[in-house]
Amino acid sequence: MILVWLITILFAGGIGAWLSEKRNPELPRVIALATILLDLFLVVLMLVAPGVLGLDSASQAELGQTGEWLILSSSEWIPRFGVAFIFGADGLGLLLITLTVFLGLMSLGSAWNEIKERTGFFYFNLLWTLAGVIGVFTALDLFLFFFFWEVMLIPMYFIIAIWGHENKEYAAMKFFIFTQVSGMLMLLAILMLVFFHYQSTGEFTFSYFDLLGTAIPDGFGFWVMLGFFIAFATKLPTVPFHNWLPDAHSQAPTPGSVILAGILLKTGAYGLIRFTIPLFPEVSADFAPTAMLLGVISILYTAKVAFSQNDLKRLIAYTSVSHMGFVMLGVYAWTSQGVQGAVMTMLAHGFSAAALFMLAGGLQHRIHTRQMDKMGGLWGVAPKMGFMAVFFTVAAVGMPGLGNFIGEFLVLLGSFRISIAAASLAAIGMVVAAVYSLIVIQKVFHGENKNNLVVEDLTTVEMICFGFMMIGLLWMGMYPQSMLNMSEPTLRSLGVLFFQ
């Protein structure tokens, strides 16, 4: 039940924030803060004692599941159509839930002084997006999963369309079309999978556990798998489904960019690990070389495109696509090092990308431009901002001792066992990333302040947020085993190849 409470609290907090605006425009952010802190408290309890808080032994026995599930509950919803409330969290899910709630708190910090209009509706959308994401990470009924997949998209559309920048309507519509069309393909694939299961067993069900191992007639398996893959690859995103991301990031308000980069992209990677490959193991194995090729293309192509960007947020957006290429590569290598590297990259990228977008959004809020050719010499006027920019930039390019390095190193190690060429080309992408990242630091923070910009340095709230994210990256880099141990039982249960 604790997973249901996590989601319900966010839904209720969002409604409360919206309704409270009439009394006091400052009240919605206080309600949002209290809501996220309450969820964070529950997440800490889950980390400390997940089984005591949420394991429903009856549901576990009914679903035929073993001990890799830390929290698992099931109850009927629409039995006539085989739809049920099935929620569960294993080590992988718990890591991503923790990331979601933590970065939700960080996005609230970035919105604290930036969002001044329609605050109630903004925090309503923020909290409902977080609720949808947690639902995606915990739903184990495919109908329920699709419901939450849609729930997290619509509030994000409003965040971009209402509080975004100059081309916000275009960016929001593009985001919605890409994600909605790919989501409809996934829904069609879900219905086909359920139909084939019904044909072979006579049982109508949307349960993830029941649909595992479904016999699919020859010639249909690839197309059903492709429906899932396109939906998740679009959200990840990977080339050629990435086109919506630069516009969405550049036009979104800072908290919207934090949620997009830090959390929403991870739902695509999670879907590949949890659903696409386990539901279609043989077809996915045949498709793996193509998926790994797409991952390598994403790493190199978007790194090249990043060089030509003058818009700071668009550049960071393209770097996100490049980093997600490592996730695609590691997942479809389907080795223990590759998939654990993908998980670590998801977590570390959540921190580093969120921080970089907070810095870029903070700069835009202060000097009203994202164009790097209008910046320069900002270290002299905002040294705290300059220090944070250097730290999170070197983290993003894989500095040893920080979380991103662990993730990308494991991806390269795991994929090297499968394809030496793919791992070698991906390694080139790391070198390219280091070059353009240093160019950004040079253009924005070093050199002469030609435009005589006066920039307010980071506020106390911003420093606290960045400080927590620094600690997170250092923890992942210095003690990654704490997270690798959590994800290992999940990966073993999914059939990931472990080499001794």
Query: What is the full per-residue pLDDT of the chain (500 aa) written as tens digits?
Result: 788 999 999 999 999 999 988 888 889 999 999 999 999 999 998 888 755 555 555 555 556 555 578 888 888 888 888 889 999 998 999 999 999 999 999 999 888 888 888 888 999 999 999 999 999 999 999 999 999 999 999 999 999 999 988 888 999 999 999 999 999 999 999 999 999 999 888 888 999 999 988 888 888 989 999 999 999 999 988 988 888 988 898 888 989 999 998 999 999 999 999 999 999 999 999 999 999 999 999 999 988 888 888 888 888 888 889 889 999 999 999 999 999 999 999 999 999 999 999 998 888 888 888 888 888 888 888 889 889 999 999 998 888 899 999 999 999 999 998 999 999 999 998 888 888 888 888 888 887 777 777 778 888 888 999 999 999 999 999 999 989 999 998 998 888 877 64
Query: Structurally, how many domains does the chain consist of?
Result: 1
Asked if the structure places residue 193 within a domain, the reply is no
User: Which structural domain, as residue segments, surrounds residue 458?
Assistant: 292-500
361 Cβ neighbours under 8 A, 6+ residues apart = 110, 114, 253, 254, 257, 258, 313
Rounded-to-integer distance, Cα 135 and Cα 157, Å: 18
Asked if the structure places residue 423 within a domain, the reply is yes
Residue among 403, 423, 258, 420 nearest 343 (CA): 403
Asked if the structure places residue 194 within a domain, the reply is no
163 Cβ neighbours under 8 A, 6+ residues apart = 115, 117, 118, 122, 252, 253, 256
Q: Residue 11: enclosing H or E segment and its boundaries?
A: helix 2-20
Asked if the structure places residue 372 within a domain, the reply is yes
Asked if the structure places residue 487 within a domain, the reply is yes
Q: What share of residues in the chain are helix, strand, coil (percent, to 5)? A: 75, 5, 20
Asked if the structure places residue 498 within a domain, the reply is yes
Residue type (1 letter), 229: F
Contact 313, 168 (CB under 8 A): no
Residue among 235, 222, 232, 236 nearest 281 (CA): 222
For residue 456, the model assigns a pLDDT of 81
For residue 466, the model assigns a pLDDT of 92
Residues in the chain: 500
Q: Residue 122: enclosing H or E segment and its boundaries?
A: helix 119-138
Q: Around Cβ 288, how many Cβ atoms within 10 Å?
A: 17
For residue 457, the model assigns a pLDDT of 83
Contact 262, 102 (CB under 8 A): no
Q: How many CA atoms lie within 13 A of 344 on its CB side?
A: 35
Asked if the structure places residue 186 within a domain, the reply is no
Asked if the structure places residue 465 within a domain, the reply is yes
